[in-house]
Amino acid sequence: MALHGRQSQVIRYRNQSSRWRQSHLIEEYHVKRSSPKSRRQNLPALLRLSGCAAVLSLVVGASGCTSGSSSSSTDHAADGPQSAQVKTACERAAAGTAEVQFKAPGGPVDGTALKGKSIYIIPIINTGTVSEYTKQMEEAAGLLGASVVTIDAKGSIPNAVSAFNQAIARGADVIVNVAVQPELVKAQMLNAQSQGIKVIDVMNGQPDSEKPEGVDGRVSWDTMKAGKWRMDQAICDTNGTLKAGFISSDDLPMTKFLRAGMQAEYDELCTDDCSLVTTNVSSSNWATGLAQATTSLVQKNPDLNYLLPAWGGMVVQILPTMTRIDPGNKIQLSSNDLEPALLKPLAAGDNKADVGTSVGALAWPTLDQALRLVSGQKAVIEEGPARMVTSEMAESMGLSSDKSTLDNQTLIFGDLVTGDGYKALWGLTDS
């Protein structure tokens, strides 16, 4: 079972091969490369963290249309003339920094449909940004008169199975599966449905993809779009000479969609000068396996100029290792999910850019989906917000580790975090 143990196979891909078969890549953005001192300054705070951060946060595509503008990718691409492919990559990466606007997923829905109902959340790992989601679910559900119970699977499928059984036995009205592979809890989800429980799948696929058996509705980001942004940024920042090392976490369902988006851009825009090596560390082994995997990847591939860990929670573990093995900051690094612990490295330029997502903001589309299902409506496409944030943007927007997660994410996503658009759909007004 992929979730139990780390695969450490390393595979080299070059653009000469027709397709990036298992496609592994990731994003980057622009900001001047900081001195080695900067990484060391951020080291103590990072070392105080433990465990994996949100498996979920994967990333991407806005909850609706985009508008506005931000830092341009073309401003910080590598020196030298740009090819047409690199220019395209820079333009597409810049588009990923645009402001995100609310788009209603459907018509109005009865905001009282969940009053007195119980919602059980089963996350594969309830740490980092996932705990942000469960907290905001509790607060937002309170506005609707619903209760929320979280049962942490702690990275274990047997624990997830047990959590489903507990929720069913306790008479849950809604079960929210957060990043637990649906096929591994299919029997439990079908059992829940047979007893009239609505099952919502969060961060396990594309928002518009077909629902797996046992699932009534989905909530997610457009992770394929995120993968495209990240590849565009990496190509732009290296002026088409990308030598990337991607650290995957294949047990997380959304990783495959991230890879698919990256592959599309890599195949279209990366030249024969590009190359990629990849390794895999399962989410249950982030705390113990990432340092070794990162060290091995860098030592075996001295030409690397980009390190691309799949998720932000991985970067939290990797940055201390990079301080040791790359003291000259030759290798650029980027991330996903805008973990709170990554704000300082982002501002310092150690973390060049992040496809920021608001896992907490997923509470609103989750509850919107729940309201529709419980009231007898059909499920709708529910998509969470995501936006590329560069070091320069972090400074200009006033992002700071001294601010709360909610305050920082409101600066990035506006009322998509506070749920104003959803409250209006539900007939709620702030008192």
Asked if CATH classification 3.40.50.2300 holds for the domain at 11-100+223-357, the reply, yes or no, is yes
Q: Work out whether strand 174-178 and strand 335-336 pair parallel, antiparallel, or are unpaired.
A: unpaired
Q: How far apart are CA 229 and CA 223, in angstroms?
A: 10
* pLDDT one digit per residue (tens) for the chain, 431 residues: 333 333 333 333 333 333 333 333 333 333 333 333 455 455 544 444 333 333 333 333 333 333 333 444 444 455 678 899 999 999 999 999 999 999 999 999 999 999 999 999 999 987 777 888 999 999 999 999 999 999 999 989 999 999 999 999 999 999 999 999 999 999 999 999 999 999 999 999 999 999 999 999 999 999 899 889 988 989 999 999 999 999 999 988 888 898 889 889 988 999 888 998 899 999 889 999 999 999 999 999 999 999 989 988 899 899 999 999 999 999 998 888 888 888 889 988 888 889 988 888 999 999 999 999 999 999 999 999 999 998 889 989 999 989 988 899 999 999 999 999 999 999 997 54
Q: Cβ contacts of residue 119 below 8 Å, gap of 6+?
A: 137, 141, 146, 147, 148, 149, 172, 173, 174, 175, 176, 370
Radius of gyration of the chain, Cα coordinates, nearest whole angstrom: 21
Domains of the chain, by residue range, sit at 11-100+223-357
Q: SS3 sequence, 316-381?
A: HHHHHHHHHHCCCCCCEECEECCCHHHHHHHHHCCCCEEEEECCHHHHHHHHHHHHHHHCCCCCCC
